Amino acid sequence: MAQRLHLVFGGELVDPSKNAFKNVDDIHIVGMFPDYATAHDAWKENAQKTVDNAHMRYFIAHIHRLRDEEQEASSTEELG
């Protein structure tokens, strides 16, 4: 069974109506999670801590969607 990894991260946005971070160096990496439910719990906990700041946003990235194990690896991946 393939892992369905999810990354939870967040930070302050330049404009709350867009997804551009004010300072990429200040992005808070909450962590990597083995499934959506666990990632959602972590996302919710961190989002609720910053609810008073309209510019703060947390996101869940579906890491498992970025890789297709059936496709041939790129030349860059083969180097490592």
CB atoms within 10 A of CB 30: 17
Helix (H, G, I), strand (E, B) or coil at 12: strand
Render pLDDT for 16-31 as a digit per residue (tens, 0 to 9): 999 999 999 999 999 9
Give the helix ranges, DSSP H, for the chain: 36-49, 75-79
What's the mean pLDDT when you consider all of the chain?
87
Predicted TM-score of the model (pTM): 0.78
